[in-house]
Amino acid sequence: MAATSKTMKKQTKATGGNAPKAPKGDTMATKDNTDLSIFARPQQIGKKKGKAVARGKVAVIYTRVSTKEQAETNQSLETQLDSCRVYAERNGYEVVGEFGGTYESAKSDERKEFKRMLDFVKKSRHNIGHIIVYSHDRFSRSGPSAAFIADELRQLGISLLAVTQPVDATTPMGVLMQQLYFSMGHMDNHQRRERCTAGMLAMARKGYWPGKAPMGYDQLKVNGEQVIKPNKQGKLIRLAFHLKAEQGLSNTDIIKRLKSQGLTLYDQTLTKIFRNPFYCGLITHGLLNTDEVIQGRHEPLISRETFLRVNGLQAQNAHGYTQVKEDEQLPLRHHIKCGSCQKPLTGYEMKKKGIHYYKCNTKGCCLNRNAGKMHELYQQLLTEYQVDPILLPQVQEMMSQVFKKLSQDHEQEEKRLKLQLAELKKKLDALERRYAYGELEREIYAKFSAELKAEMREIEVNLEKLSGPLSNHRTLLENGLKMMLSLSSTWGKGDAQKRRRLQALVFPEGAQYDREKEAYRTVRVNSFFGLAREISQKMEEKERGKSSGETDFSLLVARRGIEPLLPE
């Protein structure tokens, strides 16, 4: 044994103090000489996400109510705050901040105070470990979104404590209970919405407006019943309707008139007002069926006749009303403007003689013309835009070539815009991804996403324009040129409605009557008719030998654009 011991010492000295390797199969040597603890170190075999470590007894309190009225009474907020403070004191939590204390709808988690509280607990130097709320629905009613936020906080070592609904979210059962509370709040929101919608629908069908009253009205409650009365703005809105119906003023002129009297409106707002039948005493609403119109209990600002007349002028019939029957004898009313004062002409009938006249209502203008003579002049104007049947094949061929060239340009432009749109979508996706991962603040995300979306909308609008009339130019050419063979006679034989549609098609902005020259001046001509007329004139000049040069008609279209033709 002594010899053996000396031999082992010599071997140890020769190897620099390390024990000799155990021979294969020597189990005892492996157990004694190998350190197995290395297998318990995650960093040696790959990174592993460790369990969140509790942060201690530091907490914040979050309180919330759903409506402004609840916040103003402050009763619910005080109850929540007092209960949370008592809970914290009883359980030994140190409260370093109180958030909320106002009304914020919990349907969405994009709440100002809520986000401020989350940012604080995540970044605070106090190492906050708990958020104390009165109940889980005070924290959020967004269901799955709330569960995700709670889980995210839990991974950071921050727990959510509900005073009236205590659960241990450190256990699987506790997490499940917490998610159930969030889901119950989410479901309750949906049930409330359904009850509220049903109540609003019943309210609308009884003639009460289910929501905030439109501009021009004050909403009051008298003896528990809704009362909607016109206010000062309502008087000016009534004036706007009458200016449109009786004088045919443009929206721009009406807006200027209203602004001078203290009411500032934008064109889009005024158009919505003109289209809203609420102002003539009727109720249409998204809750109702599309064809359902209810007689309202509120005071109308205007008559139904005035409303229909205004919407007739705007060529709008958004709610399916039958428009006022046009006077068969005065189709040019409001379409023709006085050449002197630029005001639309109105009309009247001299009943004793049965003769109709157009007149200008501007004081001192004194324009008053026989309707029959005005119609003859208008037919002469339309004759100027007719195509000679003999030249029709040549005009059609020339216009077809122009359209083909423009179609090629459109295809190239469409490809360019689609590539640009795809790039913007990639940028927006990347921006949304960074925001979702918390790499961007909401303000930065909102700013740049709004800019990208605005650019995308502009491109989409331009793409819609490119997919217009040129996409089916053969049908456009056939229908349009066929119409141009007999514009004058078609207008002369048509009823008032057909006449108005045709004259609005050819001259979208109407025409002006020059009393000195006894003739019409056109403001703007539909580019299709204008192009066909110019080609036809060039063809006639070429036939007479007065013109031999080639004309690039596509430049005319590129400068003006092609407008769609309305159905006959």
Task: Pick the more confident residue, 465 or 42.
Answer: 465
Task: Pick the more confident residue, 70 or 555.
Answer: 70
Highest mean pLDDT among 13-27, 94-108, 277-291, 422-436: 422-436
Sign of CA dihedral 549, 554, 560, 563: positive
Q: What pTM did the predictor assign?
A: 0.39
Q: Note the pLDDT of residue 556.
A: 46
Q: How much of the chain exceeds pLDDT 90, in percent?
A: 18
Position of tokens 């703005």? 233
Sign of CA dihedral 221, 223, 226, 229: negative
Instruction: Quickly state the pLDDT bin for 363 (edges 50, 70, 90).
Output: confident
Q: Note the pLDDT of residue 179.
A: 81
Q: Note the pLDDT of residue 512.
A: 92
Q: Note the pLDDT of residue 27.
A: 46
Q: Hey, is 67 helix, strand or coil? A: coil
Instruction: Quickly state the pLDDT bin for 108 (edges 50, 70, 90).
Output: low
* Measured CA distances, 375 to 142, 340, 418, 495, 517 (Å): 66, 20, 48, 13, 16
Instruction: Quickly state the pLDDT bin for 508 (edges 50, 70, 90).
Output: confident
pLDDT above 80 (res 199): no
Task: Pick the more confident residue, 26 or 263.
Answer: 263
pLDDT above 50 (res 17): no
Per mean pLDDT, which range of 11-20, 426-435, 466-475 is the poorest?
11-20
Q: Hey, is 467 helix, strand or coil? A: coil
Q: Note the pLDDT of residue 449.
A: 87
Q: Note the pLDDT of residue 75.
A: 52
Helix (H) or strand (E) holding 10: helix 2-14
Q: Note the pLDDT of residue 404.
A: 75
* Measured CA distances, 371 to 368, 412, 428, 512 (Å): 9, 50, 59, 15
Exposure class string for 260-275: b at 16+ Cβ within 10 A, else e? eeebebeeeebeebbb
Q: Note the pLDDT of residue 37.
A: 60
Domains of the chain: 58-192 (3.40.50.1390), 217-313 (3.90.1750.20), 336-383 (2.20.25), 390-485+526-560 (no CATH)
6/520 Cα distance (integer angstroms): 130
Q: Note the pLDDT of residue 126.
A: 79
Per mean pLDDT, which range of 180-194, 212-226, 492-506 is the poorest?
180-194
Q: Note the pLDDT of residue 300.
A: 92
pLDDT above 80 (res 520): yes
Helix (H) or strand (E) holding 532: helix 527-543
pLDDT above 80 (res 443): yes
Q: Note the pLDDT of residue 207.
A: 82
Task: Pick the more confident residue, 382 or 394.
Answer: 382
Rounded mean pLDDT, 55-76: 74
Task: Pick the more confident residue, 310 or 541.
Answer: 310
Rounded mean pLDDT, 50-76: 70
Q: Note the pLDDT of residue 524.
A: 83
292-318: pLDDT as tens digits: 888 888 889 999 888 988 887 654 434
Single out the residue of 133, 201, 122, 142 nearest to residue 166, CA to CA. Answer: 133
Q: Note the pLDDT of residue 313.
A: 60
Q: Note the pLDDT of residue 519.
A: 92
161-177: pLDDT as tens digits: 999 888 888 888 888 88
Contact between residue 256 and residue 240 where contact means Cβ atoms under 8 Å apart: no
Rounded mean pLDDT, 387-392: 87
Instruction: Quickly state the pLDDT bin for 479 (edges 50, 70, 90).
Output: confident
pLDDT above 50 (res 191): yes
Q: Note the pLDDT of residue 72.
A: 55
pLDDT above 90 (res 495): no
Which tokens is 420 given?
A: 């640009």
Rounded mean pLDDT, 92-101: 90
Per mean pLDDT, which range of 126-135, 344-353, 405-414 is the poorest?
405-414
Contact between residue 150 and residue 158 where contact means Cβ atoms under 8 Å apart: no
Name the percent of the chain in helix, strand, coil, to the closest 5. 55, 10, 35
Angle at 57 between CA 51 and CA 59, to 5 degrees: 100
Contact between residue 351 and residue 338 where contact means Cβ atoms under 8 Å apart: no
pLDDT above 80 (res 118): yes
DSSP string for 353-379: TTEEEEE--STTT--EEEHHHHHHHHH
299/231 Cα distance (integer angstroms): 11
Furthest CA-CA distance within the chain: 151
pLDDT above 80 (res 548): no
Q: Note the pLDDT of residue 68.
A: 62
The angle, 0 to 180 degrees and rounded to 10, between the axes of the packed helices 553-560 and 527-543 is 160
Q: Note the pLDDT of residue 123.
A: 85
Task: Pick the more confident residue, 340 or 562.
Answer: 340
